[in-house]
Amino acid sequence: MGNSLRAVLAILTVAIFAVAVSSGARAMTAYDFNFVSIEGDPMPLKAYEGKALLVVNTASFCGYTPQYKSLEATWLAYKDKGLVVVGVPSDSFNQEYSDNAKIKKFCDTKYNITFPLTESNNVKGGKAHPFYQWVKERGGRDAVPSWNFNKVLIDAKGNFVQTFRSDVTPESPDLREALAKALPTSP
C-alpha cells in the first residue's frame, strides 16, 4: 500500500471521526478506527468486534522493549478467551525504526511476535493516529501515551476502559484484574 493511499485512509478516518462527533451520532467505539497492518494491509479494528483489545504503543529501542515477550505470552494465554493484543509501533519518542519492514523483522526474529502489529504511527500530539485522539477524548490527557509501551485497554463492547503506563507490565495484577473484567462473557 502506497503512502498516498495511507494518507487518504488516515484523512477519511479523521473526517468520519469529526462528522460523528459533531453530528451527535452514536458514540464511537474503538471498533470504528482503522489502522494499516505492518505488512501494509487494511487493519480495521471492527475485525475484532466483540473482543477486548489491549493496544500497546511499542518501540524497538526502549528500556521497556523486553515487554514484547510478556505481551506475546498474554496474547497466547488470552486470545481464546476473547482478547486481541494490538501492537502499534511508534517513533513518537524517537526509539523506533523508520521502516516498517525493519520493525517487523525485529519483532519476528527477536521476540517471535504473532499478535497483530500496525504500521508505525504517531501516538501523541496533533499528528496522533485518530484512535489515540479518541483515547485522549475518552480518558483525558493522562490517557495519552507518555512513553513507549503504554497500554490502552478496550472492553468487548469497544469502550475505553483505562490506560496503563509503561512500567505496568502485562503480568501486573492490576492489569490482569482489569483485563479479566474487559473480556467478553463468552468469546
DSSP strand pairing (42-44 vs 34-36) = antiparallel
Residue 23, C-alpha cell as written in the block: 453530528
Which pLDDT does position 170 carry in this prediction?
96
Which pLDDT does position 112 carry in this prediction?
98
Give residue limits of the domains in the chain: 3-182
Q: Is 107 a catalytic residue?
A: no
Catalytic residue among 9, 62, 168, 183: 62
Which pLDDT does position 27 carry in this prediction?
75
Which pLDDT does position 92 carry in this prediction?
97
- Check whether 23 has a pLDDT greater than 70: no
Which pLDDT does position 176 carry in this prediction?
96
Which pLDDT does position 111 carry in this prediction?
98
Q: What is the pLDDT of residues 133-179, one digit of tens each?
A: 999 999 999 999 999 999 999 999 999 999 999 999 999 999 999 99
* Contacts with 48 (C-beta within 8 Å, 6 or more apart), sequence order: 31, 84, 86
- Check whether 34 has a pLDDT greater than 70: yes
- Check whether 60 has a pLDDT greater than 70: yes
CATH class of 3-182: alpha beta
Which pLDDT does position 14 carry in this prediction?
52
Rounded to 10°, the helix 130-139/3-23 angle is 30
Query: What global pTM score does this model have?
Result: 0.86
Which pLDDT does position 102 carry in this prediction?
98
Which pLDDT does position 185 carry in this prediction?
84
Strands of 83-89's sheet, edge to edge?
A: 83-89, 52-58, 151-154, 160-164
Q: How confident is the model at residue 11 (pLDDT cuts 50, 70, 90)?
A: low
- The share of the chain scoring above pLDDT 70, in percent, equals 85
